[in-house]
Structure 1
Amino acid sequence: MKKEDKKQIIEQIAANLQEYENFYLTDIATLNAAKTSNLRRECSKQGIKLVVVKNTLLQKAFESLDRDYSELYPILKGNTAIMFSNVANSPAKLIDKYKADKIPALKGAYVQESFFVGADTLQNLVNIKSKTELIGDVIALLQSPAKNVISALQSGGNTIHGVLKTLSER
């Protein structure tokens, strides 16, 4: 591969790292072509970008950015594929879905400005709530007291209305 081609690939990886808030480093080496195609299709449906990279080029892309990704350098061995996503737990759920096959195998991740290294962190990543899930939880919590107040006022209003109607009839 020519030096210009490598430079272009490094720039593309760096652009993806800046574009997406979260990424997962996985190993999909033992997948055959059909399973790889299915995985790519599944990723596409969930808004995940799957890119197979060379470890040295990925490390150079990390080094070209302002952020310090040195915690991920030790896991850059063997085959590496990156799953880019703006939803924090989406790739983790996909990896968890295929965990019976143990492929893709999680090597590490950068999620919500935190590093996760090793396959044992997968359940923690699956349980992370996405931004939309958190907003939904907050709205539900805010609506609950308001609903209670409104229902109390409505039931109390009916009682007051009944008393006033009875008094007016007398």
Structure 2
Amino acid sequence: MSKPVKEYITNDLKSRWDGVSDALLVDVAELEANDTVALRKQLREKSIHLLVVKNSLARRATEGTSLGPAFEGLGGTTAVVWGAEDIVSLAKEVTKLADGKDFEKFETKGGVMDGAKLSPEEVKQVSKWPSRTEQLSMLMGQILSPGATLSGQLLAGGANLASQVKQISEKEEE
């Protein structure tokens, strides 16, 4: 590959990964063509991108970025997966695909999260964390819970009083 072509590909990778801080590395080399098309379609539906890259060009494109550690010491065929809502959602999807029976030869090679390199085992651990949406719902529950409890306690006294007044008025009517 000529130097201008390498430079062009490197610049293209830099522009694609601009603003991306979390990504996972997978191996899709042994998948059949139809399986690869089905895999890409499944990922695309969830706003996840998959790109097979040459390791040396990826290293050159991510040099000095938060994605850089992912490509250190990497060998063999590599595909980069990025996107989704957050790294946890991405890890959940990749782990589900790697453990599933649809794509048996699909495997996780690691990744990077906030500039820290992840091993395949760490990717599985991250996939067990609550996603961003789940964390936000838990946080909202914790924020709203004291208010709901206080509201219930304040309204309970008034409800009890109204019930007693109603009972007294019913007795007087009899």
TM-score, normalised on structure 1? 0.84
Native 8 Å contact 1:28 1:81 kept in 2: yes
Native 8 Å contact 1:17 1:23 kept in 2: no
Query: Partner residue of 2:117?
Result: 115
Query: Partner residue of 2:159?
Result: 158
Native 8 Å contact 2:25 2:111 kept in 1: yes
Unpaired runs of 5+ in structure 1? none
The residue identity in structure 2 corresponding to 1:108 is G
Give the 3 Å change call, closer, same or farther, for CA 140–106 of structure 1 in structure 2.
Answer: same
Which moved further from structure 2: 15-24 or 139-148?
Answer: 15-24
Runs of 4+ in 1 over 6 A off after TM superposition: none
Query: Partner residue of 2:39?
Result: 39
Query: Partner residue of 1:148?
Result: 149
Give the 3 Å change call, closer, same or farther, for CA 150–113 of structure 1 in structure 2.
Answer: farther
**Structure-1 separation of matches of 2:57 and 2:33:** 24
Deviation of 1:163 (Å): 4.3
Which moved further from structure 2: 35-44 or 88-97?
Answer: 88-97
Deviation of 1:102 (Å): 4.6
Identity %: 24
The residue identity in structure 1 corresponding to 2:82 is F
Query: Partner residue of 1:90?
Result: 89
In the TM superposition, what are the counterparts of 1:1-170 in structure 2 within 5 Å? 1-63=1-63, 65-67=64-66, 69-70=68-69, 72-74=71-73, 76-85=74-83, 86-98=85-97, 99-100=99-100, 101-117=103-119, 119-163=120-164, 166=168
Number of equivalences: 166
**Structure-1 separation of matches of 2:8 and 2:109:** 25
Task: Give 3-state SS (helix, strand or coil) of 2:50's partner.
Answer: strand
Deviation of 1:28 (Å): 0.7
When the two chains are superposed, the root-mean-square deviation of aligned CA atoms in Å is 2.3
Bigger Cα Rg: 2
Give the 3 Å change call, closer, same or farther, for CA 157–103 of structure 1 in structure 2.
Answer: farther
Give the 3 Å change call, closer, same or farther, for CA 139–112 of structure 1 in structure 2.
Answer: farther
TM-score, normalised on structure 2? 0.82
Native 8 Å contact 1:88 1:129 kept in 2: no
Unpaired runs of 5+ in structure 2? none
